[in-house]
Amino acid sequence: MAEVVLFHHAQGLTSGVQVFAGQLVSAGHTVHVPDLYDGNTFATLEEGLDYARSVGFGAIAERGVAAAEGLGDSLVYAGFSLGVVPAQQLAQTRPGAKGALFYYSCLPVSEFGEAWPAGVPVQIHGMESDPFFAEEDLVEARALAESADEAELFLYPGKEHLFADSSLPSYDQEAASLLLSRTLEFLDRLS
């Protein structure tokens, strides 16, 4: 089974993120869910982004990278939205990465290197009309899917951003179930 480091989104380590992690654990995987917000959660995405701005996006990413220290090398790095930043950085720069799962976001590969590392499979998930994902992130997701050896891009109908977080109004049960199923298939292939 896979060992996963799962980074939360801008609203913090919500109960929905914890439920998702629990679903991965129930399937037999080991999941680490660091709290990059020191216990703070926010009712809206805007409030969470304001908090991240006040702390500094770079500082949040550094917390994520630090959270992986002391863990093994054969890890899958996963992130929801803002959590994609440390997940992608670790997947591209930390030796031994086993895979990557990006939910609702994707950065340019050039942020952390010249190319996606060979032998590191990646899945990217987002809603096709999500205003946060559909512009820049989708372009980068398509570029990564085309350039990496083992990359999958999954687009879901709709416009919600944090659609797999069962604790938020943006939750879409049908899309979230499919995202979870695809995630578990991905992790099973890595085991």
pLDDT digits (tens, 9 = 90+) for 157-187: 999 999 999 999 999 999 999 999 999 999 9
Which position has the higher pLDDT, 72 or 9?
A: 9
Q: What percent of the chain has pLDDT over 70?
A: 100
Give the dihedral sign, CA 3/6/127/81. Answer: negative
- For residue 50, the SS3 value is helix
Q: What is the pTM of this model?
A: 0.97
Helix H segments across the chain?
Answer: 15-26, 45-55, 57-68, 84-93, 136-147, 173-190
Tally the domains of the chain. 1
Of the candidates 151, 172, 157, 165, the one whose C-alpha atom is nearest the C-alpha of residue 79 is 165
- What distances in angstroms separate CA 151 from CA 22, 115, 130, one per listed residue? 25, 13, 21
CATH number at residue 10: 3.40.50.1820
Phi, psi of 80 (to 5 degrees): -100, 115
Q: Give pLDDT, residue 191.
A: 79
Dmax over CA atoms of the chain, in Å, equals 39
Q: What is the pLDDT of residues 88-139, one digit of tens each?
A: 999 999 999 999 999 999 999 999 999 999 999 999 999 999 999 998 899 9
Supply the range of the domain harboring residue 44.
Answer: 3-190
What's the confidence (pLDDT) of residue 138?
A: 97
Averaged pLDDT, 12-26: 98
What pLDDT is stored for residue 101 in this prediction?
A: 98
Buried b (16+ CB within 10 A) or exposed e, 71-100: eeeebbbbbbbbbbbbbbbbbbebeebbbb
